[in-house]
Structure 1
Amino acid sequence: MSGSRISPEEAQLRAQSKATLAAQRRADAQTALEALRAEQIAVRERTARLRALRLAKEAADAEAASASQTAPSSAKPAKSGARRRRISA
């Protein structure tokens, strides 16, 4: 039975190894979490920028639509879809 026991030095080395591995895992997890948070911030910033652009475009479109409704109709009327056919003689 004495063969299954480990020496105190070996037990200490194993404990240090486990502690080092646990510390490395914590550091890796922290790095991954920071990367995830940075990505989330970037997505929120892009979303906010695109939303601002969309709202500005919608406002400009609405302004253009209201301006075209209030403008006098001095422009030529739109052509109808039917075209005249040329007759060659």
Structure 2
Amino acid sequence: MPKSLTTSEPNVLRPEDFDPPLKRKEPIVPYYWTLDEIATELGVTSRRVGYDITGYPPRKIQPSLKAYKAGSLFLVPDADALAYIQRFRERKKS
């Protein structure tokens, strides 16, 4: 939903704003997305999403997604994950 020009409220993405709707129903970790959840949502491998988090110098891929490392998991905050999913979907449409 675009931000109105007359109000100062921030533009916040919500799961219900997506078309087609998101596949994820229940989060594994509340308020965070895991690598596998994002990869499933986008239909790509978790390695591809991992490269967007950590980067991959041999292929000149720069990190474009911030995540927290918790043990062997990467956790992406809801707002960052939704923005990444939206960017990925828009890039695929073009």
Global fold match (TM > 0.5): no
Larger Rg: 1
Q: Which has the higher contact order (CA 8 A, sep 6+)?
A: 2
Question: Normalising by structure 1, what TM-score?
Answer: 0.24
The structure that is strand-richer by fraction is: 2
Normalised to the residue count of structure 2, the TM-score between the two structures is: 0.23
Q: Which has the higher helix share?
A: 1
